[in-house]
Amino acid sequence: GGRCRQLVKSFGGLPNVKITAVCDVWDQNLAEGQKVADPKAFATKQYEELLARKDVDAVLIGSPDHWHVPLTMDACKAGKDVYVEKPLTHDLSEGRAVIAAQNETKRVVQVGTQQRSMTHILKA
């Protein structure tokens, strides 16, 4: 969706970052994601296919909120580092499960709180 595309554009501009795959269940979002990714990027509607790829080191999760926990946990278990949009969880049990998956796999997990890093907020 729109928020994820915005993040992909930002991440794609970072040194040593290449958007090698995109995933979305909605055709329109998948097509838009392909436009901002590497021209040779793999595209799929099945996130498991993306997580199975050896050329994917980290994932950006900008899905609907209820998918944040399962996608983060599956990405960790697949050996991927994770940047996930807020909210990460809806209750404490989900938080404990994500922390356990991160600790078990030793992956990097960062939860996006863009309002903390927006230029005008930093200036204030």
Tallying the residues shown for the chain, one arrives at: 124
Residues 97-114: pLDDT tens digits?
Answer: 999 999 999 999 999 876
Contact predicate 80/57, CB 8 Å: yes
Does position 83 have pLDDT exceeding 90, yes or no? Answer: yes
Which of the four pLDDT bands, split at 50, 70 and 90, describes residue 75?
very high
Average of per-residue pLDDT across 64-76: 96
Tokens of 102: 């991160």
H or E, element range at 73: helix 68-77
Alpha helices (runs of H) in 13-67, residue ranges in sequence order: 27-36, 47-51
Q: What is the model's pLDDT at position 97?
A: 96
